[in-house]
Amino acid sequence: MSMIRLRWIATGALLLAPAPGAAQVGNSVAQQRVPILREYLDLLAIPNIASDTANIRRNADRLLQMMAKRGLSPRLLEADDVAVPPAVYGEWLVPGATRTFVIYAHYDGQPVTPSDWKSTQPFVPVLRTARLDRPGKLIPLPAEGAAIDPEWRIYARSASDDKLGVMAILAAVDALRAQGQRPAFNVKIFLEGEEEAGSPNLRSVLTKHAATLKSDGWVIVDGPAHPSGARQVVLGVRGDVNLDIVVHGPARPLHSGHYGNWAPNPAMMLSRLLASMKDENGRVTITGFYDDVAPLGRAERQAIAVVPSADAQLREDLGLATTEGGGRSLLDLIHEPSLNINGIRSADVGEKARNVIPTTASATLDLRLVKGNDHKRQVARVIEHIKRQGFTVLDREPTMEERRRFAKIATAIPQSGYNAERTELAHPLAQSVIAAVKGSGDAVVLPTLGGSLPLYLLSETLGAPSVTLSLANHDNNQHAEDENLRIGNLWGAIETLAAVMRMK
């Protein structure tokens, strides 16, 4: 496998050539990468929440232009319902190639709460000379040819998750072309537009466009690198499903003085319910929660054993004196299903708080699933647990008759979810990608990523195996406020994709 490195020629196009070591690449070519940054910042400026139909279409249009410019014969792959975000498809077919792989990224991002952002507004991408909590400053896009420090960061929603994947794929195409090279296989590019919304239409898109998407496997570009900085080759992902819970108090809000210690408080009822779901060590106490887990094979356990532990560094960086799991490692724990509180809310707090007994208290739970779990079965266990705490569980608001009859009422509504997926370490696609990535720098191999992607759909609908490349800096705040990308990881991602496109 060729060691592929990126370099600029005078015109600004990318050159590929064997290079001596990964560490030298960032600095040596930093001064020539302004056009990529400009194109990337322009893309990040387009709001990309999946439910924002008009702006999602603007993203898709921009991606069509970006692919057309690169000769990738782009088109939209629409779902049956044209109101949903389309996938953007492109291809680079290689005469004589015997293999075909689809390279995937998603161009939509997590919802945003702009008031929480300290760095910038989510869709006003900015450059900073350092991570927000370290000494640094905002800087403009440098002039072409100016030096670019790989430690600089781009702040914007989806800077890491996952327009990074989109940009890296397209810039890797530029890199091959500039070098006069072709991919080692037929490259099909699939950019999803509603991954962060739970991919509700992905199944129908894959089914409808199965002929177009025929391949020997998928390479998914998403997720963060290892905290050590090494890129991650991930053979599977956890499944995911969210559950919205609303606990009901009095039918109308009450003055906390006139009715306090008489009318039940839904925030207290919710607190008690949530507290019942995990023990002090973070072990989920819901009956059967860990029952279905499929154990890892020997090869997978060996792969995990050689991954360097980042736990101490993470604890230091995140200011954590202790972690859940009674001292077990992060890598160990992400091979188990999890239960996380994404948010809780009842009335207001602090300056906006009023002296009331609220009418409702809400929580959104995030359940991560591993091989063996089924998302509907796991949600059913949580609902069964809520019932066991004395709640009447509904999938709608209670009626007044129900309120008068049942002491504890919760509305529990699961969102669309999906199961975990894992490709065997011995699979040829896994072996090829691992070799290509390891050949271009530091890499670790994980049987399962902590995060989720609807990879099970690929095997279910297309029979396609998949391997995931996780290339963003680990401290990227993805899904939260102040999402960011370390610029050195952008260069590294382009380089990695170029290597994979040339994989044996």
- We find the least distance from the C-beta atom of residue 224 to a second copy, in angstroms, to be 6
Segment contacting a second copy (CB under 8 A): 182-190, 352-360, 425-433, 496-504? Answer: 352-360
Tell me which residue has tokens 């929603």.
Answer: 157
Which three-class secondary structure state does DSSP give residue 127?
strand
- We find the least distance from the C-beta atom of residue 377 to a second copy, in angstroms, to be 19
Instruction: Tell me: does residue 461 bind a second copy (CB under 8 A).
Output: no
Q: Which is nearer to a second copy, 111 or 288 (CB)?
A: 111
Segment contacting a second copy (CB under 8 A): 14-22, 77-85, 120-128, 321-329? Answer: 321-329
Q: Indicate which single residue of 450, 454, 465, 488 sits in contact with a second copy (rule: CB under 8 A).
A: 450
Contacts of 420 (CB under 8 A, 6+ apart): 236, 237, 238, 239, 369, 370, 371, 372, 373, 448, 452, 456
Q: Which is nearer to a second copy, 66 or 361 (CB)?
A: 361
**338 φ/ψ angles, rounded to the nearest 5 degrees:** -130, 165
Residues within window 89-128 making contact with a second copy, judged by CB under 8 A: 110-111, 113
Instruction: Tell me: does residue 478 bind a second copy (CB under 8 A).
Output: yes
89 with 188: CB under 8 angstroms? yes
Q: Indicate which single residue of 174, 336, 421, 495 sits in contact with a second copy (rule: CB under 8 A).
A: 336
Q: Indicate which single residue of 3, 170, 187, 254 sits in contact with a second copy (rule: CB under 8 A).
A: 254
Q: Which is nearer to a second copy, 272 or 388 (CB)?
A: 272
The rounded distance, in Å, linking the Cα atoms of 52 and 140 is: 29
Instruction: Tell me: does residue 140 bind a second copy (CB under 8 A).
Output: no
Q: Which is nearer to a second copy, 301 or 405 (CB)?
A: 405
| Cis preceding-peptide flag for 162 (omega within 30 of 0) | yes
What type of residue is 297?
A: G
Helical (H) or strand (E) element with 360: strand 360-369
Segment contacting a second copy (CB under 8 A): 5-13, 87-95, 122-130, 398-406? Answer: 398-406
Segment contacting a second copy (CB under 8 A): 87-95, 122-130, 276-284, 427-435? Answer: 276-284
Site for a second copy (CB under 8 A): how many residues? 101
| DSSP-assigned states of every residue in 425-440 | TTSHHHHHHHHHHHHT
Q: Indicate which single residue of 137, 298, 352, 396 sits in contact with a second copy (rule: CB under 8 A).
A: 352
Residues within window 152-181 making contact with a second copy, judged by CB under 8 A: none
Give one word for 158, left, alpha or beta, with left for phi > 0 and alpha for psi -120 to 50: left
Residues within window 215-234 making contact with a second copy, judged by CB under 8 A: 223-224
Measuring CA to CA, which residue among 459, 470, 465, 466 is closest to residue 497?
A: 470
154 with 488: CB under 8 angstroms? no
Q: Indicate which single residue of 333, 372, 387, 394 sits in contact with a second copy (rule: CB under 8 A).
A: 333
Q: Indicate which single residue of 322, 376, 384, 388 sits in contact with a second copy (rule: CB under 8 A).
A: 322
Q: Indicate which single residue of 11, 261, 305, 306 sits in contact with a second copy (rule: CB under 8 A).
A: 261
DSSP for residue 109: B
Q: Which is nearer to a second copy, 3 or 234 (CB)?
A: 234
The rounded distance, in Å, linking the Cα atoms of 194 and 188 is: 19
Contacts of 250 (CB under 8 A, 6+ apart): 259, 263, 264, 357, 359
Segment contacting a second copy (CB under 8 A): 121-129, 210-218, 279-287, 376-384? Answer: 279-287
- We find the least distance from the C-beta atom of residue 192 to a second copy, in angstroms, to be 16
Q: How many CA atoms lie within 13 A of 95 on its CB side?
A: 0
Give one word for 261, left, alpha or beta, with left for phi > 0 and alpha for psi -120 to 50: left
Q: Beta strands 126-128 and 356-357: pairing type? A: unpaired
Contacts by 311-314, CB closer than 8 A, 24 or more apart: 313/227, 313/228, 314/227
For residues 400 to 439, the per-residue mask of contacts with a second copy, x marking binding by CB under 8 A and - elsewhere, is x--xxxxx--------------------------------
Instruction: Tell me: does residue 136 bind a second copy (CB under 8 A).
Output: no
Compute the C-alpha angle 224/304/420, nearest 5°: 65
Q: Which is nearer to a second copy, 189 or 269 (CB)?
A: 269
191 with 87: CB under 8 angstroms? yes
- We find the least distance from the C-beta atom of residue 453 to a second copy, in angstroms, to be 9
Instruction: Tell me: does residue 274 bind a second copy (CB under 8 A).
Output: yes
Contacts of 340 (CB under 8 A, 6+ apart): 365, 366, 367, 368
79 with 208: CB under 8 angstroms? yes
Segment contacting a second copy (CB under 8 A): 29-37, 94-102, 163-171, 449-457? Answer: 449-457
For residues 354 to 393, the per-residue mask of contacts with a second copy, x marking binding by CB under 8 A and - elsewhere, is xxxxx--xxxx-x-x-------------------------
The rounded distance, in Å, linking the Cα atoms of 90 and 86 is: 13
